[in-house]
Structure 1
């Protein structure tokens, strides 16, 4: 029987080490637009270090998905079924404080970025941003950092250093609470009080109270003025 030659120390030293399989970070997408979910999933799955572990369209499913899928990061939109991304972010932060989250939304960052950060998000990216910015934001948040556009980052820094908000032309809207913003958008989308109450899981009386507060803060005297202002704001956001 032939004897198998032994390997020399040089052979062992020069041997190619086995390839180490890269561990992909798990990304959960929460967005109610199927086309966007499909697009961002393909974008993320092309990266060697990232993988979409789940696509969710509603807030009701999102918390369960976080528990079941154990993502490394959640990517949320403002507009989702059942509530909004800000309220969902608050719930995620309360139940899973260690899970980092990034907001990727079509809605004006001058209105929503600071609200998202206060709710617990680690960054905000507009959907209109180049795709590489979305990937950059995901990686930065996964690395423990914050991600904001230069314009919003500079504004928030100025607010922190000077103890005041800077005027970027949306100061009146910024007076509204997160829930009031949600109701204001629904009014601008043509929804009536009862429909808003049903979709936001509020009472009709609560929605009417929010509408009254919105009119007061925006100095609007009548319901038609409120509707007109809301429609104009929603249309302006859509054209950003």
Structure 2
């Protein structure tokens, strides 16, 4: 047990789940919750401000998903440990998380005791996975497949393109995306065209399908939105 408390940032878009995690972790000795975020963008900002030792990161979140937030956090703060806590346990999600540098991956059915153990293990520099994931795939296999996954989409999109892609897939118009990212509408349009060229996709619906396929948003999110008013007509 470390003499100094392990500082933790909780990142989860559902308030009731986040509150539950906070209550459970408060019972764990040697773990201190220093902040909470409800989307990936807040997570990036709070990590920069609070410098937590461990970030417990959800995957499917609005504005900026957990995978892209993990990429941005580790690029700026490589010593931070990221522990993914997600409803998704598909191999592709686990592999992508590892490719981005996450230290562990838990499914949300995990018990509070295992969550506390996982936080301590990743803080010590070890990897940690839910028992269901560990039984299915050994760590070496995950690492090798994760490296290969990192060479595929969506890694060839720039971080800014990834942010624009998520907002487009969530149904944001160019103007809304520009406001969210503090860039011009013209810049959003350039990113949109660049993504279409790279991915050989020619409409907003195709970009949305791609975002779902690579886990940037969930299909349930896409199903509740209407196409942006300023999306290209083909």
User: Which residue of structure 1 lines up, in the alignment, with residue 53 of structure 2?
Assistant: 72
The 1:203–1:146 alpha-carbon spacing in structure 2 relative to 1, beyond 3 Å, is: farther
Could you tell me which runs of 5 or more consecutive residues in structure 1 were left unpaired when the two chains were aligned. 1-21
Does the 8 A contact of 2:98 with 2:142 survive in 1? Answer: no
User: Which residue of structure 2 lines up, in the alignment, with residue 63 of structure 1?
Assistant: 48
Does the 8 A contact of 1:75 with 1:102 survive in 2? Answer: yes
Counterparts of 2:199 and 2:23, CA distance in 1:
42
1:236 aligns with 2:219: yes
1:123 aligns with 2:96: no
User: Which residue of structure 2 lines up, in the alignment, with residue 146 of structure 1?
Assistant: 127
TM-score between both structures, scaled by the size of structure 2 = 0.64
Counterparts of 1:113 and 1:194, CA distance in 2:
34
Counterparts of 1:107 and 1:208, CA distance in 2:
32
Counterparts of 1:179 and 1:107, CA distance in 2:
25
Could you tell me which runs of 5 or more consecutive residues in structure 2 were left unpaired when the two chains were aligned. 223-234
How many residues matched?
A: 207
Return 95-104 or 41-50, whichever deviates more. 95-104
Counterparts of 2:89 and 2:165, CA distance in 1:
14
User: Which residue of structure 1 lines up, in the alignment, with residue 226 of structure 2?
Assistant: none
User: Which residue of structure 2 lines up, in the alignment, with residue 135 of structure 1?
Assistant: 116
Larger relative contact order, structure 1 or 2 (CA cutoff 8 Å, min sep 6): 2
Which is higher, the Rg of structure 1 or of structure 2?
A: 1
SS at the partner of 1:198?
helix
Counterparts of 2:71 and 2:149, CA distance in 1:
23
Counterparts of 2:74 and 2:209, CA distance in 1:
35
Counterparts of 2:88 and 2:109, CA distance in 1:
12
Does the 8 A contact of 2:170 with 2:221 survive in 1? Answer: no
User: Which residue of structure 2 lines up, in the alignment, with residue 187 of structure 1?
Assistant: 168
